Amino acid sequence: MPRAQAAVALSTLTLLIAPDAAAVEPSAYPVTLMGGLSVQGAAVGGMSLGGVGTGRVIIHGKKLSLDFAGGEGVANQDLRHVGAVFVGARKPFGPDLYGRFGFYHQHETPWADFVSSPFGTITAVDDHIFHRSGAQLAVGWLRPWDVAMTDDPWRRVMSGVELSVAALPDDSGPKVIVGFEVSAGFGVGERRR
């Protein structure tokens, strides 16, 4: 696992100290609300394939944005329910490109326990949940529709794709999970530009 931790540390450093691209402007809106669907698979530490639906709130700053996300889904490694939480930073690298990095926490519950106690599982209080924590790094492309749409509310809409890698160092599941997400969302608040 030391190589995976070193890769995450190097990626984090690169994300945070990379020079700002001259063409990058702050988001047109102070907050972005996103929803997405992802396919996730284990890259290291076991075979697993699953899907997660994600909700995301992004609070934009001038150079960095705060990124909060939560999701629910299923993985086929012994069929389990997966709940995920992400808290981190997002940085633009070009007009529509970004990178994000932060804390990643995943709840995994055997499917039979989820079926017998769905509320306890979704609220993360069920006794059969495996709690796993680590880090997640992602790069993505998010395109605002305002280049083609000039009327509100359509100019607030955006869509994108993202590739992510999560490193979870414990042994209760895959140690590295790779994800591909397709998302859509909209800007909230008064337009800045």
With tokens 């700053």, the residue in question is: 61
The rounded distance, in Å, linking the Cα atoms of 28 and 35 is: 19
CATH class of 2-17+35-188: mainly beta
What global pTM score does this model have?
Answer: 0.80
CB 76 within 8 A of CB 110: no
What sign for the dihedral angle of Cα 46, 79, 69, 184?
positive
Question: Alpha-carbon torsion 74, 76, 78, 84, what sign?
Answer: negative
What pLDDT does residue 24 have? 61
Give residue 35's pLDDT.
94
Per-residue pLDDT 10s for the chain (193 aa) are: 455 555 544 455 455 545 554 456 667 788 999 999 998 887 766 667 788 889 999 999 988 999 999 999 888 877 888 889 999 999 998 888 999 999 999 888 889 999 998 888 888 788 888 889 999 999 999 988 776 566 666 668 899 999 999 999 888 778 899 999 999 998 888 877 6
Distances (CA, A) of 110 to 57, 77, 158, 186: 28, 9, 35, 35
**75, burial (CB in 10 Å: exposed 0-12, middle 13-18, buried 19+):** buried
